[in-house]
Amino acid sequence: MVVLVLLGIVVFFADRIFIVIPAGHVGALWNRFSGTRVDRVFGEGLHIISPLDVMTPYEVRKQVVVHTLDVLSAEGLTVVLELAIRFQPEYRLVGLLHETIGPDYMTRVVVPQAESVLRKQLGNASAVQIYTNEDGLLTRAMITAMNEAGRNLVAIDDIVILQITLPDRLKNAINDKITQRQLLGSYLYRRETALKEAERKRIEAAGIRDYQAIIDQTLSERLLVYQGIQATRDLATSANPKTLVVGAGSNDLALPIFLGDMTKGHRGSAEGPGPAAAYQPRALDADTPEALDEATRKALSDPTLVPPPPSRMEITR
C-alpha cells in the first residue's frame, strides 16, 4: 500500500517533480522553506525537484523587443522614435534576477529603463538635432541607456533606431533645407567650371597674341611680294577657268587677281588669246624659278604688257 501511495503521488505530481529545461534556457529554483536559490542556476535538461518547490525557466538567448517612444523636443515638438532593443539576462545572475525583478523583467526594466534614459538625454535637444543625430546625440543617449539597464542584471547589447518621425511641416522644412544646400553646391561647382574655362580661353588668347607678335617681327614686305608672285604663278598655270584683274597696290608691284579663264588663249584655242596672254607666256616659258621670277617682274613692271582694268560694263557682264 505504501508503495502504491507513493507511486500515485509521483504520478500525480510528475509535472512538478520532473522538470525539463529546454534549449537556450536556464532554471531558477524557489524553495518553499529557504526561498530562491541565488547561488545556483539549473541548466538545460531534466531535473528532479521536490513537488513543493517551483522551477521557473528563463530564456538566456539574445532577445529583441520593438518599442515606440514619443520624445518632446526643446521647442515643444513631438518626435516619434521606433526602437529595436536587443537584450539578454546575465547567465550567472538569473537566480538574483528572479528574486529581485521576476520573469517579466523586459517590461519592468529593459523598456522603461531605455525609455527613461532616452527621454532625459533627448529632452534638451531640438527636433532637428534629434533627426540629424547632431554631434552623435542619439548615439550617446543609446550608450547611456545600455549602461543604465546593465545595472539591473540585464545586458542590453544594442538599441537600433528603426525610424524617426517628425511633424510634417518640420519634415518638409528640413528636406527643403537639404535640397537648397545641394543646389548651392551645384552652383558653386558650375561657377568653378566657368572660371576654369575663362582661364583656359585667356591662355589660348595669349598664345595667339604671342604667335601674331612673332610673325609680325619676321614678316617683311619683300617676303610678301615674293609669296604673292609665287601664288600668282601657281594660279596662272592651273587649268581652272579664270579672269585676270590688275589693280594698283600700296607698293610698286601690283599683283594680278585671277577670276576667269586665261588658259584658252595660251593653249592656242580658236577663240584667240585672253586679255592676259600678252605677258603670260613669258612667265610660263621660263626654265628655272629664278628666271620665272625675273620674267614675271619684267612683265608686271612693263605698262605696255599689262592690260587696262576692265570697264564697268565688262565687270557687270
Whether residue 215 sits in one domain with residue 225: no
In a domain, 302, yes or no: yes
Q: Residues 52, 124: one domain?
A: no
pLDDT at 301: 56
**Considering the domain boundaries, does residue 316 fall inside one?**
no
Whether residue 67 is found in the same domain as residue 155: yes
Please report, for the domain that includes residue 73, its CATH number. 3.30.479.30
Asked whether 125 and 71 are in contact (CB, 8 A), the reply is: no
291 belongs to a structural domain: yes
- Give 158's strand partners: 86
Q: From CA 70, how far away is CA 80, in angstroms rounded? A: 5
Residues 105 and 142 in one domain: yes
pLDDT in tens, the chain (317 residues): 777 777 777 777 778 888 899 999 999 999 988 899 998 899 999 998 888 889 999 999 999 999 998 888 888 888 899 999 999 998 889 999 999 999 999 998 889 888 888 888 888 888 888 888 888 888 888 888 888 877 778 888 888 888 888 888 877 887 888 889 899 999 999 999 999 999 999 999 999 998 888 887 777 777 777 777 887 788 777 777 766 665 545 555 566 665 554 444 444 444 444 443 333 434 334 444 444 455 555 555 555 444 454 444 343 33
- Domain assignment present for residue 232? The answer is yes
Q: How many domains does the chain contain in total?
A: 4
* Same-domain status, 121 and 202: no
Q: Half-sphere exposure of residue 253, counting CA atoms within 13 Å on the CB side?
A: 18
In a domain, 298, yes or no: yes
**Torsion-angle region of residue 70: left (phi > 0), alpha (psi -120 to 50) or beta?**
beta
Domain range holding 78?
63-166
Task: Say if 315 falls within a structural domain.
Answer: no
Query: What pTM did the predictor assign?
Result: 0.51
